[in-house]
Amino acid sequence: MARIAGRFSRVEPRATARAYLLGLLSRVERKNCWQLAEQAGLARPGPMQRLLRYARWDADSVRDDIRAYAVEHLGTDGGVLIVDETGFLKKGRASAGVQRQYTGTAGRIENSQVGVFLAYATSRGRTLIDRRLYLPEHSWCTDAERRQAAGIPDEVQFQTKPRLAWEMIAATLDAGVEAPWVTGDEAYGQDPRLLAALEARGTGYVMAVACSTRVRINHGRTPIRADTVAGRLPATAWQRHSAGNGAKGPRHYDWAWIHIGTDEHRHLLIRRNRTTGELAFYLCWSPTTVTLAELVRVAGVRWSVEECFQAAKGQVGLDHYQVRNWTAWHRHITLAMLALAFLTAVAADAAPQRPTGPHHPARNSEPISLTVPEIRHLLTAVFGPPAVTAARLLHWSIWRRRHQATARQSHYQRRSANEPTG
């Protein structure tokens, strides 16, 4: 809180922000304004709601503080920026950016919002450092009435997800973050403008692409599909490498790479599952000569963004919000990112520096390093709320049920008004 305190001009929202963060780190079941207010000992959710909607503070400035904090605690050589998106399932059509669209969260088309995120990953840890809410072009960008109701600023116009990703990458690099690599999935790897912008910036990338992607081999003379290239490779072209440790140990795959185009620093990287034979493809470019092992490392790091989403949603309530407004969405997401960055930094700083190698075998009796969930569990014991009285529990129960009764009546009246007559 000391790092972001200057972003709040008044003491009231500053204190509320601290209570909000402690609530995100707590055991509260659903981390929305109602339950966070009850956790903080408030009589009403009003202060929490004002913090997200009306209070004067700049979420983008806090975002900058989060990025600096993450680099300070996690920064080391070989940092990787990861772009990816995640969905937030919603009901109704009033939430900013909501529409029926595909989201990997559900694995199908659902009524949802989609946020594009940037993660920062090093050998010390990984966390989310930037975010953008995707605003669909036809259902939102051209609907002035809908935009106004959701509080979307006039200057916000339609931008593709790769364009949003590039804005976050460029801002991070402009801030002086040393990250020689960027990685992402097919949605970003198949956007030529994003790849060209990274090359112009001198930033290497390992980006997933579809099997149907066409590349040029033989010094750029022969266009060919990526999966056709894989089918023609001899057995000697494949090498076994680990893409990093997973939950069940090292993730070993067979890997192959070939030069494509006329640039000696441009490659097609191919991953083959040793059990199923399933293939995955990556377009790679680097400003200097690199090894296959380095490209494999970066490709493997991409999956850590999924761990960030899992921790952010499961530990600090990234998707627990109940807000519709554009500003409120960015503020809640930013505070959840700060809570996640804090847990990640504590885990990184607490990790023991144990000697490794054949002369220092690991002992089964040694505990694993502190994890983000374990640290949050310990913190809740330290910063837990004071004893809750029966009167306070009853007060909040009555308040919630009265509010729900009012909301139900409003829904019934709206539905009756919309029903055809005659």
Low-confidence winner among 129-133, 244-248, 252-256, 318-322 (lowest mean pLDDT)? 244-248
Percent of the chain at pLDDT above 90? 73
The pair of three-digit structure tokens given for residue 84, joined into one six-digit string: 């990816």
Range with the largest mean pLDDT of 191-200, 256-265, 386-395: 191-200
The terminus-to-terminus CA distance of the chain in angstroms comes to 60
Name the DSSP letter for residue 225.
E
The CA distance from 237 to 272, in Å, is 12
Please state, as a whole number, how many other Cβ atoms lie within 10 Å of the Cβ of residue 84.
25
Cβ–Cβ under 8 Å, residues 219 and 301: no
Res 326: pLDDT? 97
Fill in the amino acid letter for 420.
P
Please state, rounded to an integer, the average pLDDT across all residues of the chain.
91
Residues 359-368 pLDDT 10s: 455 556 677 7
The CA distance from 307 to 300, in Å, is 12
> Which residue carries 């939102």 as its tokens?
140
Q: Tell me how far CA of residue 311 lies from CA of 206, 359, 387, in angstroms.
A: 24, 35, 28
The CA distance from 155 to 78, in Å, is 36
What does DSSP say about strands 181-184 and 204-209: parallel, antiparallel, or unpaired? parallel
What is the secondary structure of 37-100 as a DSSP string? HHHHT-SSSHHHHHHHHTS-B-HHHHHHHHHHHHHHHH--TT-EEEEEEEEEE-SSS-STT-EE
With cut-offs at 50, 70 and 90, classify the pLDDT of residue 386: low
With cut-offs at 50, 70 and 90, classify the pLDDT of residue 356: very low
Cα-only R_g, the chain: 24
Residues 50-94 pLDDT 10s: 999 999 999 999 999 999 999 999 999 899 999 999 999 999 899
Fill in the amino acid letter for 344.
T
Q: Return the H-helix or E-strand segment holding 70.
A: helix 59-74
Fill in the amino acid letter for 334.
T
Q: Tell me how far CA of residue 63 lies from CA of 129, 135, 389, in angstroms.
A: 7, 20, 37
Res 249: pLDDT? 75
Where helices occur in 316-371 by DSSP H, the ranges are 326-350
3-state secondary structure of 109: strand
Name the DSSP letter for residue 57.
B
Q: Closest Cα to residue 245, out of 292, 294, 304?
A: 304
pLDDT exceeds cutoff 90 at 221? no
With cut-offs at 50, 70 and 90, classify the pLDDT of residue 353: low
Low-confidence winner among 46-50, 65-69, 386-390 (lowest mean pLDDT)? 386-390
Fill in the amino acid letter for 328.
A
> Which residue carries 């929202």 as its tokens?
13
With cut-offs at 50, 70 and 90, classify the pLDDT of residue 139: very high
pLDDT exceeds cutoff 80 at 128? yes
The pair of three-digit structure tokens given for residue 92, joined into one six-digit string: 């109704």
pTM of the entire predicted model: 0.90
Res 245: pLDDT? 79
The CA distance from 255 to 240, in Å, is 6
